[in-house]
Amino acid sequence: MATQQAPPRGTVRIEAPDNNRKDNYWVAPTAILVTFAVFVIYSTIRAFMGKYFSTYYDGHSFPWMAANLQGANAIRPHYWSPFYSPYIPGYLPFLKGLKIATWPISAALYVMVFPLAFRASCYYCRKTYYRAVFRDPEACAVKEKFARINYTGEAKLPARVVNFHRYTFYAAVILVLFHWYHLYNAFFYSQGGQTHIGIGLGTVIFLIDTLALTAYTFSCHSWRHLVGGVVNRYSRAKGRFKVWSGVSKLNEYHGQFFWFSLVTVLIADLYVFLVSSGRITDIRFF
């Protein structure tokens, strides 16, 4: 009686089938690639710009602020770009003895590394750019574009570095708190040396952006594990089970929150840029 032998231990290489798909499978990854490219180009330009990120400090603090925001009776809404939050001065005071201390460095370059690390290491985001950018593969039943030898996934460097995602979550929570702080400020405006309560278009944009980022951050797999992981018996941790169940339902929409928050944070920064540079006037509802 013939017996079937098990394959030898080690890595088994499986040849991917040729691409026999006839549908427009390439549309989705191409659209994602274009969206990524637009965001990266825009955010890079804004990060190195180093100005037009606030609408409510006086001209002495930020001399580039538009003239229509500096007058005595001008309405200055209290908006602050999320790309520059929290604000860090544009110089390196701890390197005074070096020549580099004379170089102005945009505050956004210090700040944006944290949301970048959180998003780039996100489980959903990794799947997205593996398919859209690296074509690894770009769709089901489609052969990979690049042949790989001794593939180890994310178990070894350099791909292993993305597994620090659980630690970037804590930085993301701090950024969410700053978003809520700037949303609070967005309900105020200055005029004639006095501070008043009001709502402008920027307030609405900040509200949507803050809610979107909060939903994206707290639907994260790391947060889900933090509130419900390492529990042997949920019957003895009913409170954590309820929280974990709620986060699990929210986690189903993590991908949608990722894209929505990516768009809203860009719109929030763009709106502050347009207002602070004098290209548009803030629309005031009251």
**Which tops the pLDDT comparison, 20 or 31?**
31
**pLDDT tens-digit readout, 71-128:** 778 889 999 999 988 877 655 555 555 555 455 567 777 788 888 888 888 888 888 8
Per-residue pLDDT reduced to its tens digit, 167-203 = 888 989 999 999 999 999 999 998 887 889 999 999 9
* Global pTM exceeds 0.85: no
Mind listing the pLDDT tens digit for each residue in 39-78?
999 999 998 888 899 998 877 778 888 888 887 788 899 9
Q: Which of 128-137, 168-177, 273-282 is the least confident region?
A: 128-137
What residue spans define the domains of the chain? 27-276
Q: What is the pLDDT of residue 83?
A: 92
pLDDT of residue 17: 52
Q: What does the H/E/C string look like for the chain?
A: CCCCCCCCCCCCCCCCCCCCCCCCCCHHHHHHHHHHHHHHHHHHHHHHHCCCCECCCCCCCCCCCCHHHCCCCCCEECCECHHHCCCCCCCCHHHCCCHHHHCCCCHHHHHCHHHHHHHHCCHHHHHHHHHHCCCCCCCCCCCCCCCCCCCCCCCCCCHHHHHHHHHHHHHHHHHHHHHHHHHHHCCEEEECCEEEECCEHHHHHHHHHHHHHHHHHCCCHHHHHHHHCCCCCHHHCHHHHHHHHHHHHHHCCHHHHHHHHHHHHHHHHHHHHHHHCCCCCCCECC
